[in-house]
Amino acid sequence: MRASDFGFLAAGVVLNSLAQIGLKSATTATGPISASGPALWTSALQLAVVPAFWMALAAYGLSLAVWVIGLSRVPVGQAYPLLSLGYVVTAALAWWWLGESLPPMRLAGTAVIILGVYLVARS
């Protein structure tokens, strides 16, 4: 895989992770969302005024665009496993930005993911 191809795919993964962090930030601002009718509508309206929600949606859209560019250049069997890096990036961002914990077992799992993605990318 060429570095530029990896760059497009990696940008898609990072943007997707940023979207997850943005959505979590938005729901932290609004509180838990109820799945019942009227409460769901109220939650949706509360969420609609949170800037992090809209930034997350924009990150999702941009991640799709760069992912499609990368996917057009790399076999899907080689590209798709790179999405697993999203677990790594999202866990790191959640730790740094949201103060979530990274216990040893999660760090070990993250290391296994990194090794697996490296092996797939080299194949």
DSSP assignments along 38-65, one per residue = HHHHHHHHHHHT-HHHHHHHHHHHHHHH
- Number of structural domains found in the chain: 1
Encode the chain (123 residues) as per-residue pLDDT tens digits. Answer: 788 998 999 999 999 999 999 999 999 988 888 887 788 888 888 899 999 999 999 999 999 999 999 999 999 988 888 888 898 999 999 999 999 999 999 999 999 988 988 887 777
Task: Count CB neighbours of 80 within 10 A.
Answer: 13
Q: Which CA distances in Å does 90 have to 73, 93, 122? A: 25, 5, 23
Question: What is the model's pTM?
Answer: 0.84
Range of the domain at 47: 3-122
What pLDDT, on a 0 to 100 scale, did the predictor assign at position 85?
A: 87
